[in-house]
């Protein structure tokens, strides 16, 4: 059985890189940038005022105040004033370019206005209330680096540097296959013992959040031929085929034999983790196959740690793995050692610390517990108990995209 970290590395190593495409900025959030976006000009492009007030020349404030100067015009956003002459000031508003020769702004609350003259009682330093040209970004610098997963702030920044479109990595196409004679579509009647198919709904939502397009294939019965045909059809139009169920070693588990029969090279099929021991990774041509266990919690947890990073790596994301945080355990637990465990847990803030408490029902089919949890608490493989107040690693379900 492979350990968790090695299995994750093998998944990343197998990730084929998607090609690139152009998208308009309105489509760009959540995509991975496939180019360095350069800043063509200084941002901001001119020295500007950050206050409503008066543009002045600090050098004019010699000797003891108060000082009085004539007001020579007005500079406002979109309608600048070209220059100041010595011993004059200009009315200026937030965001407006500073007139040439001016080097500071005095806020209007500190100025007495009398007709076309302005009176100042305190001195001012050069640069005061001025946002300097190039303060945010310098011309020629990289505004957004290749491999960045674009957040709304990156989209706004791309627009700021005058880009209307970006080159991003193409979305991987995912085909999802649910296997099992007991499955029926949710909301439809079925015989006693049938269950509503839930995995593809949860997994499709996760895969879309990870940047993929998703198609869900018809339900696959526990039959070798049907399973082979279903995988053949899925492989024909997917970058990644993800199956759920039937991947273990029971009499009715057809996924591994079907994959072997149609020439998918299996890299591994068991990972020492809980939930989710049976988990298959394989490849045929450039298409990756991930066989997830059928229990709903196992399916979503394994997809979070293997499927989502795979889809991110395929898009060239420079940081595809989920991040973990530290917290203190809210109560002691005892357990069977052997597999790295991701316990469904509740993470809350108490005073200055984050406290993580595992939920009572850790069954790998207990999807209500996964929905109620907001975190997964990591229990190292060899541990048989954790004490109350121990420092542990946690993953946030929101960040895992589950």
* Binding stretches for Mg ion (CB under 5 A): 180, 245-246, 294
Sign for the CA dihedral angle at 188, 232, 254, 298 comes to: negative
241 binds ligand AMP (CB under 6 A): no
- Coil, helix or strand for 56? strand
Taking CB under 6 A as the rule, which mask of x and - marks residues 162-191 in contact with ligand AMP?
Answer: ----------------x-x-xx--------
The distance of closest approach from Cβ of residue 237 to ligand AMP in the complex, given in angstroms and rounded to an integer, is 21
28 or 297: whose CB is closer to ligand AMP?
A: 297
Comparing CA positions, the residue from 116, 102, 4, 121 lying closest to residue 59 is 102
On whether the CB atoms of residues 43 and 140 are closer than 8 A, the answer is no
On whether the CB atoms of residues 84 and 100 are closer than 8 A, the answer is yes
Alpha-carbon distance of 65 to 384, in angstroms, equals 77
295 binds ligand AMP (CB under 6 A): yes
| Cβ atoms within 10 Å, residue 43 | 19
The distance of closest approach from Cβ of residue 182 to ligand AMP in the complex, given in angstroms and rounded to an integer, is 5
- Out of Mg ion, ligand AMP, none, what residue 229 binds, judged by CB under 5 to 8 A for its kind, is none
On whether the CB atoms of residues 392 and 357 are closer than 8 A, the answer is no
Q: Which of 80, 246, 316, 322 binds ligand AMP (CB under 6 A)?
A: 246
- Out of Mg ion, ligand AMP, none, what residue 199 binds, judged by CB under 5 to 8 A for its kind, is ligand AMP
The distance of closest approach from Cβ of residue 29 to ligand AMP in the complex, given in angstroms and rounded to an integer, is 30
243 or 357: whose CB is closer to Mg ion?
A: 243
125 burial level (CB within 10 Å; 0-12, 13-18, 19+) = exposed
Q: Which of 48, 99, 245, 276 binds ligand AMP (CB under 6 A)?
A: 245
Q: Which helix (H) or strand (E) holds 224?
A: helix 224-236
Omega cis (within 30) before 66: yes
The distance of closest approach from Cβ of residue 367 to ligand AMP in the complex, given in angstroms and rounded to an integer, is 8
48 or 180: whose CB is closer to ligand AMP?
A: 180
Write the DSSP symbol of residue 23.
E
The distance of closest approach from Cβ of residue 254 to Mg ion in the complex, given in angstroms and rounded to an integer, is 9
- Out of Mg ion, ligand AMP, none, what residue 315 binds, judged by CB under 5 to 8 A for its kind, is none
Q: Which of 53, 275, 276, 294 binds ligand AMP (CB under 6 A)?
A: 294
309 binds ligand AMP (CB under 6 A): no
On whether the CB atoms of residues 65 and 58 are closer than 8 A, the answer is no
Alpha-carbon distance of 20 to 143, in angstroms, equals 19
Which residues make up the interface to ligand AMP (CB under 6 A)?
Answer: 178, 180, 182-183, 195, 197-199, 244-246, 248, 293-296, 365
């Amino acid at each position: 059985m492979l350990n968790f970290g090695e299995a994750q590395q093998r998944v990343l190593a197998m990730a084929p890189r998607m090609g690139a495409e152009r998208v308009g900025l309105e489509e760009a959030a959540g995509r991975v940038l496939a180019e360095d976006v350069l800043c063509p000009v200084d941002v901001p492009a001119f020295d500007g005022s950050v206050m409503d007030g008066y543009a002045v020349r600090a050098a004019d404030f010699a000797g003891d105040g108060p000082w009085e100067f004539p007001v020579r015009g007005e500079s406002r956003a979109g309608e600048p004033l070209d220059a100041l002459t010595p011993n004059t000031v200009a009315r200026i508003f937030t965001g407006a370019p500073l007139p040439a020769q001016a080097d500071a702004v005095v806020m209007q609350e500190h100025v007495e206005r009398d007709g076309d003259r302005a009176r100042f009682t305190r001195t001012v330093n050069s640069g005061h209330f001025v946002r300097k040209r190039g303060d945010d970004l310098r011309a020629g610098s990289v505004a957004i680096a290749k491999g960045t997963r674009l957040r709304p702030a990156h989209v706004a920044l791309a627009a700021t540097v005058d880009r209307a479109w970006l080159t991003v990595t193409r979305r991987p196409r995912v085909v999802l296959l649910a296997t099992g004679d007991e499955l029926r579509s949710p909301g439809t009647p079925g015989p006693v013992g049938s269950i509503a198919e839930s995995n593809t709904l949860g997994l499709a939502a996760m895969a879309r959040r990870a940047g993929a397009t998703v198609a869900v294939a018809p339900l696959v019965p526990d039959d070798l031929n049907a399973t082979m045909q279903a995988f053949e059809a899925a492989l024909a139009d997917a970058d990644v085929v993800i199956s759920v169920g039937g991947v273990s070693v029971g009499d009715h588990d057809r996924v591994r034999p079907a994959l072997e029969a149609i020439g998918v090279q299996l890299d591994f099929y068991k990972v020492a983790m809980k939930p989710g021991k049976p988990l298959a990774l394989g490849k045929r041509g450039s298409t990756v196959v991930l066989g997830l266990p059928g229990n709903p919690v196992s399916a979503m947890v394994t997809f979070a740690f293997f499927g989502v990073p795979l889809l991110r790596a395929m898009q060239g994301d420079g940081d595809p793995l989920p991040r973990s945080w530290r917290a203190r355990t809210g109560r002691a637990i005892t357990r069977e050692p052997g597999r790295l465990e991701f316990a469904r847990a509740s993470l809350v803030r108490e005073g200055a610390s984050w406290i993580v408490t595992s939920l009572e029902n850790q069954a790998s089919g207990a999807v209500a517990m996964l929905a109620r949890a907001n975190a997964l608490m990591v229990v190292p493989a060899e541990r048989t108990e954790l004490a109350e107040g121990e420092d542990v690693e946690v993953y946030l379900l929101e960040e895992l995209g589950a």
